């Protein structure tokens, strides 16, 4: 992230400001390369500009600047006029691997970039057209698949962090509320043989859950329950996970959901909340922009501080245990609270 060095020369400060102004050039170049399928194509074999123009339908007059800019950004390399993926990026940008980021990048190209284009209007009072209206987005299977892949990019890193956050040997069951296609749940049951898991999500997610569990071989260990987490009964479990869910809703809805989760947790059990929670000092630009992203994608959405989250769980009847920052893509915090026996 660009931050200004105020002690630099006036020219350097001006250059930094203009760099900030045009930071989206880089984002769009990456997004277009993903949308066009460039990295997947180059994973087959290196190619020159002519072949890439033909196979990707690129405008020959613009292709050279586009491709060479990607070289300059460290995404491609060029040898004797032939382009190849830069070593080290393929696992993130070539479709098919477990660390593929392309679904998230495509989601940003399709939705987030458009939403950020209306930032001034939204900041000055225009209502947010819910870009992340889950029910509406679920009208298209392709959109849902992208959305699920986008979520898994982030929750895959959290899943590893959850391994050591609680002593899983003390618990037999868990429920991932808003657990999407079960990526975190699958990781937990694969890591902890004794655990049985559940995912609660909207009915439209079930086919994607079934597909994902079949692919990961965890269909017999994780059960899907379809419903609306504000209205339908949540299955009981020793541990309930609420991950990247509360930041989609306004505080009153978060409180309601945490109360419902409290009812679902068995006495002696725990709730795990993870989100890119804000520092109480509110001085980390990356998290604050992430929070702004939530609020322009979803009416009432935003990140929240650890203190606020502690308030939600304690008012619902949980006992606060810990809140730790974990090494994930959005520097999430994992908050754990227990339900007295």
Interface residues toward ligand SAM, by CB under 6 A: 134, 151, 154-155, 178-180, 201-202, 205, 228-230, 243-245, 248
Residue number, 33 or 276, with CB nearest to ligand SAM: 276
Beta bridge partners of 271: 240, 337
Closest CB to ligand SAM belongs to which residue?
178
Residue number, 113 or 138, with CB nearest to ligand SAM: 138
Q: How far is the CB of 169 from ligand SAM (least distance, A)?
A: 24
Q: How far is the CB of 210 from ligand SAM (least distance, A)?
A: 15
Tokens of 49: 């500009």
Q: How far is the CB of 110 from ligand SAM (least distance, A)?
A: 16
Phi-psi bin for 250: left (phi > 0), alpha (psi -120 to 50), beta? beta
3-state secondary structure of 124: coil
> What gap in Å lies between CA 33 and CA 29, rounded to an integer?
6
Residue number, 52 or 222, with CB nearest to ligand SAM: 222
What is the CB-side half-sphere exposure of residue 329 using CA atoms within 13 A? 15
Q: How far is the CB of 202 from ligand SAM (least distance, A)?
A: 5
Q: How far is the CB of 314 from ligand SAM (least distance, A)?
A: 22
Contact predicate 330/104, CB 8 Å: no
Beta bridge partners of 293: none
Q: How far is the CB of 201 from ligand SAM (least distance, A)?
A: 5
Residue number, 40 or 156, with CB nearest to ligand SAM: 156
By residue count, the chain amounts to 341
> What gap in Å lies between CA 330 and CA 72, rounded to an integer?
26
Residue number, 98 or 125, with CB nearest to ligand SAM: 98
> What gap in Å lies between CA 332 and CA 324, rounded to an integer?
8
Residue number, 77 or 259, with CB nearest to ligand SAM: 259
Q: What angle do CA 147, 26, 49 make, to 5 degrees?
A: 95
């Amino acid at each position: 992230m660009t931050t200004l060095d105020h002690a630099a020369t006036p020219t350097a400060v001006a250059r930094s400001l203009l760099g900030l102004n045009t930071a989206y050039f880089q984002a769009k170049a990456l997004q277009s390369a993903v949308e066009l399928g460039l990295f997947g194509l180059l994973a087959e074999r290196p190619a020159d500009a002519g072949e890439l123009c033909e196979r990707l339908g690129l405008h020959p007059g613009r292709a050279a600047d586009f491709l060479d800019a990607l070289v300059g950004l460290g995404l491609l390399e060029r040898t004797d006029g032939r382009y190849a993926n830069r070593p080290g990026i393929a696992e993130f940008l070539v479709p098919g691997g477990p660390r593929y980021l392309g679904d998230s990048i495509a989601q940003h190209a399709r939705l987030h970039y458009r939403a950020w284009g209306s930032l001034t209007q939204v900041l000055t009072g225009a209502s947010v057209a819910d870009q992340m209206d889950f029910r509406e987005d679920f009208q298209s299977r392709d959109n849902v698949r992208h959305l699920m892949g986008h979520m898994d990019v982030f929750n895959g890193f959290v899943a590893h962090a959850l391994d050591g956050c609680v002593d899983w040997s003390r618990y037999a069951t868990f429920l991932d509320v808003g657990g999407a296609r079960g990526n975190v749940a699958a990781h937990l049951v694969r890591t902890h043989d004794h655990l049985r898991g559940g995912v609660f999500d909207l009915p439209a997610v079930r086919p994607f859950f079934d597909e994902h569990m079949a692919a990961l071989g965890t269909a017999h260990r994780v059960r899907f329950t379809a419903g609306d987490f504000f209205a339908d009964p949540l299955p009981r479990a020793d541990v309930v996970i609420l991950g990247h869910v509360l930041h989609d809703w306004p505080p009153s809805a978060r409180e309601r959901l945490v109360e419902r989760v409290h009812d679902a947790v068995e006495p002696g059990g725990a709730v795990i909340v993870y989100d890119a929670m804000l520092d109480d000092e509110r001085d980390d630009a990356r998290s604050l922009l992430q929070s702004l992203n939530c609020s322009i994608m979803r009416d009432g959405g935003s990140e929240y501080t650890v203190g606020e989250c502690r308030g939600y769980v304690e008012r619902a009847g949980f006992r606060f245990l810990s809140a730790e920052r974990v090494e994930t893509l959005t520097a999430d915090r994992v908050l754990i609270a227990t339900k007295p026996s």
